[in-house]
Structure 1
């Protein structure tokens, strides 16, 4: 039974025709494929082009000997893990020790016994397979552990954030309700006082000097007009606070256990409201313009709180990318923008594209953006979990896709696609 896959082979490195014949016959008897090299240089060249499963390497050869060939192969990360069995007539301990120090896994002494060659080769092929299987299991377990950690972080983050923001929204409601409910009677009181003052003015057009002086010092007419404007500003401010409170409740909507029909535009708008302070101009840049190209979207069956978390992570990343581009002087466009485009496609998918004109991401890093704990941000500026959590929510929770398209120096666009269901 062959221990090599469909494309695998064993490389025999030996300059002696008799040795090559014996080794070839032994491998052929077990259905093992092989290739031949007659010196160290050609062996190294072959291995770099096409890696064998195992190498049978003669020590005494013209040019570089087997020890030097082994050293060079082990020094190259691409070929370092290929098992090497030395074939040699040297039986002294010093030679064997040197071979093991250089990284060889075994020795086969000359003259060859075919049964020994077959036995040692099969053992080391099996050991290589077991080692590769173990390494794959470690990689799989590590990935599973990372994904489990991300889920725990996501659940804890959403739970803690939801409780915190829900508490803030609740605390905001009481004072804002008090303010807004008292504005109408305050308007009535001020209007009533203004009317009485006008009646006094009609009845007593020539008041005493002390009253005239007080009216002039107070600038009564201006004050009465300005009171109306102040009340109007109270109305606008209280309505804005109410909108923020509603946005906070929408953002942290407690629907983690079941899907609900939701307006994703509302989720996007509530997220932008929460991020408003980061979009404003600062000492380093003008305000970031948000362009909403909203299409006609039906309500979508989704975990709205988690989808809002996706929007938050991607939009916050876009702001970070713009700020970093400006900080490093790599912002080509002087008008920072985030463009949000939504549409429903012909395959019953909802598409949401969020694009920025920030730094962009190099091609070599683009495919790693959704890896847990991977971040392109400076130390202390990111956990490396935001996009990983977003990817998990879209793909695992909503059977959708989250893709990234980025060009260095131009910007980055994330595309979310989820089924309407």
Structure 2
């Protein structure tokens, strides 16, 4: 039996493999053709360059967007040649760059795209959106999309908005004119109301200052009266001594006269010093209240000035006030407005806290907290306040003594001074039958 010729026939298995490979190659080419056809019919321009920056593929839409260079947009064309041709045919009319400078710049940018979209005007009313990206093999893929319709729509929308805005502005102008006319009466009424409120607030401040004046006047009256009495006695003694000395001056007469004048002078000087101290304290208090200027001061000294002025009122009251303020506690703030708050605290307690009682205790305490702020706490062991009063205690014109001398501005003014001028906070803690505590927290040193 003869053997088959090995060169005359391919084994069946290899033939099947070759047939399979051919079918797969045909299918691949068919898919490639379909893909290229699909890419060629895209509405956006598509171009691809290889790692060597040579054109690999360019679809129909891309050539339509760049008709000036459509004839050279063929596979195998280097990007540098495409850029140079575009410059010569078209771009030299748009730039002052030289041909080589333009080509070098474009090639550099093309090899290293910034991967951000860019919109530019290709011609009259023709806008293109360009987007270049680096591929994984080092090549470049670029997309170009005609966005002229969008730009025209945006322009139309902007013009429509401008017309609408103009119409709206005209309507607003007309409406504003009507509102201005309508608001004139309201503004006048509001101005009158604000003026009345300012007058009431100022009246409250003046009433508080007048109260201090009355207190100081009462305090000064005693040393001035004593000084006047001593001065009158000294004058009578001098006249008496003058009459007797014209006749005969005895040792006993001279000694008696000198002793009387010495003692009288001591009493006179003592009372005048007392009056001078009162005047000086009130002068500083009045300056602080009138000017509301910022200065460095010792807190306890300012409080002493308030107590000096309110001394007669406190002495006539059965209620006691203790001051617990460190002697070395200094501040840089507004002493005048601060004294008004303290006066309001004291008056508020005397009027409201001890109603129906014959004794009571108030404490004014001051300290420095961890934030280097001054904490001033004024507390009493009076009757306290109900919750509905606490909710409105800082509201203007709110008072539980309506028609009995209260105008409801004291604590409202204190709140405004603390929050707007002193840069701090004020709060109240109270319970029925357990007294009231006002807490004032303000910076120890305010910025000028």
Q: TM-score, length-normalised on structure 1?
A: 0.47
Does 1 or 2 have the higher relative contact order (CA < 8 Å, sep 6+)?
1
- For the pair shown, the structure with the greater C-alpha radius of gyration is 2
Q: TM-score, length-normalised on structure 2?
A: 0.44
